[in-house]
Structure 1
């Protein structure tokens, strides 16, 4: 098959597909040359950075499949693709570990003031008393959006000895023992740390966190936003 990469992917992935006998066109670094490959492309692989709209779909006369390497497919005109008999696929489990680890990197850095302490040392200072930060152990983490990524974050929080509460409009029961599903207002009131993983569609959803929601939170709560579309 003729496979067109329109966004940047690791070379190991491209090589693996080539070794399977497929013909690969990679225009991720030179998007201006994509048009000349579209006519023969049977599969387009993207990564959210490129909008696969009607114009692109119409140019790809042999197109049979569009694959988005990630959770969301909101960069693809799904209805138009389906009307033309083109399959649309994505890889919802691919980023869940890396995002969960990234959340904890941000969480530890912010809670323990690692970035500020490092910057202070680089400037020739060491104001130790300013950088004690806060321990995670025994604190409550609120996870807003308890899908694949939210659950991976919760697993890591439990390993740190944290208490977890979760909120998800699609869940009435928790998929993880010991993690209650609560209303958003309740989550905001009890959480010391809040991590956002709910998808957002501007055409469908209202703003999740407004002045009202901030007023419900504890003082000095730490919020990490890794929500899709957030």
Structure 2
């Protein structure tokens, strides 16, 4: 006798991207998301401003207000609040996005392409002597673990050549010159390399690859590691 009980879909895969400013994370994330959908997979692209909670407009509105406080604030406010406050504010944002947006998508069998991985936050705080690295790791430790992390490795000087300009945050608030950006970004990049080694991330040396080569390498990894052909 056949059962009429509904089947539970296989959980989706969480795919994230890490790299310095100008590495091409958003470009690759968007292209892989499109390729997954074109290949017939259920996939959603989530960035740092993704606040929609399906069938829960009140939660969407709350998440959007939190996003505004964290990412759409006046630069003078950011400086006045201090590093500990922003660590906890960022942890709050990542916690709610993970709980309200990412986890439900994965549970429904939808693959999540996450463009705003918290690992870059960890790398930035790791070079900040004012904040305990242990505290930083603890406030993000509960987040959903990704099945695949792409680490887009590129030196800061090459990244700056791609970007052309940068914000004070991207230079670590250390000054407004190109060398300030390069010095800070390369220091943060060293921390990302350590995370990549510990976490078994897939490293792509994007300084040596054009965009098409980066995409092909990432698509091959999806097929090989997650059995997601695109």
Q: TM-score range by the shorter chain?
A: under 0.3
TM-score by length of 2: 0.26
- Flag the structure with larger Rg: 1
Greater fraction strand: 1
Greater fraction helix: 2
Q: Which has the higher contact order (CA 8 A, sep 6+)?
A: 2
TM-score by length of 1: 0.26
